[in-house]
Structure 1
Amino acid sequence: MESASELVPFPLLQTPIESNYRACTIPYRFPSDNPRKATPSEIAWVDLFLNSIPSFKQRAETDPTVTDAPVRAQKFAERYAEILEDFKKEPESHGGPPDCVLLCRIREQILRELGFRDIFKKVKDEENAKAISLFGDVVHLNDAIEDGGKRLENLVRGIFAGNIFDLGSAQLAEVFSRDGMSFLASCQNLVSRPWVIDDLETFKLKWSKKPWKKAVIFVDNSGADIILGILPFARELLRLGTQVVLAANDLPSINDVTYAELVDIIAKLKDENGKLMGVDTSNLFIANSGNDLPVIDLTRVSQELAYLASDADLVILEGMGRGIETNLYAQFKCDSLKIGMVKHPEVAQFLGGRLYDCVFKYNEVSS
C-alpha cells in the first residue's frame, strides 16, 4: 500500500533549531562559493551520477512492463544527462544547487514520468529468492556463537556483507552483473578493523545490558542486505526482548526493498507458528517510511512511521544512502546507530577512509 498521507518530521530527530539538521552529509558548496559557478565537489558528484546512467539505462531497456522500453530508456538517459550537464554550467538550475537528495529525486522523477516504476524488479526478485534460501544457514551460524559479543560482531559483519548488494553504485553494479556476490565470502573479506568510523566496542557494552525497549531500523537494499544482514540482526534484538520496527521505502528506488516487498519477505521466512527461526515475531513491526529515494530526508516521513517510532529508544539508519551520504551527523533524542559500507571513492575521500571501508557510528544519549 502506498502512503497517501502528508509527510511529517521524524519525531526522534532533534529539532532543526537544536541540531541544525541537514539531510545531506557532504557539503558540495559553502556560503562563500560563487552561486553561479559549480564547485569542484558539485562537478565530481554530478560526474558520479553521470557515470551511473548507462547501468540505469540498461535496466530500463529490459523492463517488460513498459511499452517501447528501449526508446523510453534512451529518452531517460538523454534527459537526465542534459540536466546534470546543466548543473555544471548553472548550479542553481533545476531547483539547485545540487546535493545528493536533489540528484536522486530528479533521476527518479524522470524514470517515473517515462513510465518506469521499478526497473530493478527482476534482479530484486532473484536476489530475494536466493537470500531466502540461505537465511536458515546464516541464522544457524550466528546462533552457534555462544559469546554474546562475538555473536553481535558476526551479525554486524553480516550487515556490511549484505550491504554490498547495491546496484546504485556503478562499480558494484558492473561487478554484480559479471560475477554475482557470495554473502559468506563477503563476510570474510571485509576491510580490517578499525573501520573508518568504528564505535562497535562501545555499542557492544550497551548491547550486553539489553537496554533498548524499541528499535527503529531504516532498511536499505533487497536480497542479501535485508534478508541475510538486517533480519538476523533484528531477530537477535527480538530475542533480547526489544520491539523492532523495520522502516522500508514506499516506492521502488534502485534495488532498495519496499514496504510491500518486505511484508512478503517476512511472510515467507516465518514458520507456521509465525516465528522467525524459533523467535517470536509479535514484537516485529513493518512500517512504510513514506520515502521514495535511496537517501532520506528525516523531515519527511510517513505519519504511520512517526506514530510507531515515537517511543523508540534506538534509531538505526542502515546503508550508504540513509546512514552515510545522508544523516551521518543527524542528532536524535535517543541512542542512534549509522551503519553502512562506503561504496563511492568520493565518500571514502570525505571520511578519510578506504573504498569499501565500513562505518559503524554509535551515539549514546544519556537518560
Structure 2
Amino acid sequence: MESASEMVAFPLLPTPIEANYRACTIPYRFPSDNPRKATPSELLWIDLFLYSIPSFKKRAESDPTVPDANIKAGIFAQRYAEILEDFKKDPESHGGPPDGILLCRLREQVLRELGFRDIFKKVKDEENAKAISLFADVIHLSDAIEDEGKRLENLVRGIFAGNIFDLGSAQLAEVFSKDGMSFLASHQNLVPRPWVIDDLDIFKLKWSKKPWKKAIIFVDNSGADIILGILPFARELLRQGTQVVLAANDLPSINDVTYPELVEIISKLKDEHGQLMGVDTSNLLIANSGNDLPVIDLTRVSQELAYLASDVDLVMLEGMGRGIETNLYARFKCDSLKIGLVKHPEVAQFLGGRLYDCVFKYNEVLI
C-alpha cells in the first residue's frame, strides 16, 4: 500500500545498515524468549492497540466516502481484534512476532481492505483550518522574542504543544472528542525542564553557529502540529539560510499529514509573493517520504526523498511514532534531532519519564 515506485534505504543511515539500524525503539522480545509464547511486553502493547479500536471504529462509522460505513466499521473492529488476540496465542501468526510497525501496518491493512482510505479526513481538515487562522499570531509572538536562544526554545515548545494533537493515542482521542485542544494552553502547560531526554542546551549552542546548509524534517500530525509547531520552526531555519525539506506521508494514516495535504497547507499560508510571513520560501521543499504508517522504517523510503537527502547535514524526526517509538536510537551520517511528546504510559515507563514528558534528543556528528 506504499508508493508505487521502488522503496530504498535512507542514504544517511550508517552502513552496513543491517548491522547498525533497528527501526523499533522498544524491544518487545529478546532472542532467549520462547517464540511460541507472547512476552509481557508484547501483551502490554497488544492490549494498547486493542484499547484504541473503539476510537478507530467511531471514526470509520462516520466516513461518508464508504458505503455501509457503519457495518464495515464493525467488521474492521472485529477483524483487527481477532488478529491481536491471535498474537496473544501465537506471536508468530500474521507475520509476527509483533512490533509497533507490524501492529500499525495490520490495522491499516484491514481498514484499506474494507475501503476506508482516510477515516480522519474530516477532523484533519477542521484542525488545519483552525491552525491556519492562528498561524500569523504564533509567528508574531515568536518574532517578538529578540534573544535568539529564547526564541528557539519558544519554537521548540511550540513543536511539543502542537504534537499533542494525536488521534492515534486512545486517551488523547477521547479528550479531543470531548473538549478539543488549545495550542496556547498546551504550550503553557508543558512539563517543566529537565525533560526525560533534554539536549536542548547543546542544540542551542550548535544553532547559534548557524551550521546547517540543508535539513530534512520527517513531519507528523495535521493541524496544530504541522502548522503551529513545525512550520514556525522550519521558517526560522529558512531565515538562517538553511534549505528545508519537509517529508510527509504518501498515504493517510491516523491524523498524520500527507504529502498532498502539506502542499495545500503551504500554498494557503504563502502570500502573493511566495513568502511565509515575510520569509522567502524558495528554499522550502515538500517531499513524499513514501511512508504510509504513523511510524517509519528508514530502510524503506521513496527514491525522491533519498535523492533529496544526498547533501543534508541535519535529519529531524518529529513525533512519538517517528522520533520515539521508532528511530529514537538511530544514528546517522550527519547531525540528527528526535523530538516528540510522550503520549503513551508504556513509552513513559520505558524511558523512565512522565506521561506527556518531552523528548529532545540531539546527536552531533563530529567530523
TM-score tier, shorter chain, comes to over 0.9
- Do the aligned residues in 1 keep the contact of 2:161 with 2:187 (CA within 8 Å)? yes
- Deviations along 1:270-316, whole A, 9 cap, x unmatched? 00000000000000000000000000000000000000111100000
Q: Superposition pairs for residues 43-54 of structure 1, below 5 Å?
A: 43-54=43-54
* TM-superposed deviation, 1:237: 0.0
> What SS is found at the alignment partner of 1:310?
helix
| RMSD (Å), alpha carbons | 0.8
1:346 aligns with 2:346: yes
8 Å Cα contact 1:19-1:331 kept in structure 2: no
Quick one: which amino acid aligns to residue 134 of structure 1? L
Partner of 2:358: 358
Query: Alignment length, in residue pairs?
Result: 366
Q: Indicate whether 1:206 and 2:202 are aligned.
A: no
Please show how residues 276-315 of structure 1 align to structure 2 within 5 Å. Answer: 276-315=276-315
- Match of 2:221? 221
Q: Show structure 1 runs of 5+ residues with no match.
A: none
Q: Supply the AA of the counterpart residue of 1:335.
A: D
Q: Calculate percent identity across the aligned residue pairs.
A: 88
Match of 2:83 in 1: 83
In the alignment, structure 2 segments of 5+ residues that lack a partner are none
Partner of 2:272: 272
CA contact (8 A) 1:219 1:230 kept: yes
SS in 1 for 2:365: coil
Q: Which runs of 4+ in 1 moved over 4 A?
A: 16-19
Paired AA for residue 207 in structure 1:
W
Give CA-to-partner distance per residue, 1:66-109, whole Å, 9 cap, x none: 00000000000000000000000000000000000000000000
> Take 2:22 and 2:197, find their aligned partners in 1: how far apart are those partners?
20
Contact 2:37 2:91 in 1 (8 A): yes
The CA deviation at 1:18 is 7.5
Equivalence for 1:66: 66
Q: What is the TM-score normalised by the length of structure 2?
A: 0.99
Distance 1:313-1:19 versus aligned 2 partners, 3 A rule: farther
C-alpha deviation, 1:230, in angstroms: 0.0
1:235 corresponds in structure 2 to 235
Verify the 8 A CA contact 1:19 1:330 in the aligned structure 2: no
Deviations 1:137-183 (A, max 9, x none): 00000000000000000000000000000000000000001111110
Distance 1:125 1:141 in 2: 25
Residue pairs, 1:2-17, within 5 angstroms: 3-17=3-17
2: CA distance between counterparts of 1:120 and 1:352?
32
Verify the 8 A CA contact 2:3 2:291 in the aligned structure 1: no
Q: Distance in 2 between matches of 1:146 and 1:184?
A: 20
Look up the match of 2:34.
Answer: 34
Q: CA deviation at 1:4?
A: 2.1
Q: Distance in 2 between matches of 1:171 and 1:343?
A: 8
TM-score, length-scaled by structure 1: 0.99
The CA deviation at 1:15 is 2.2
| Contact 1:9 1:301 (8 Å CA) reproduced | yes
**Which residue type is aligned with residue 284 of structure 1?**
L
User: Which one-letter code corresponds to 2:94 in the other structure?
Assistant: H
What corresponds to 2:160 in structure 1?
160
Query: 1-side partners of 2:364 and 2:22: how far apart?
Result: 20
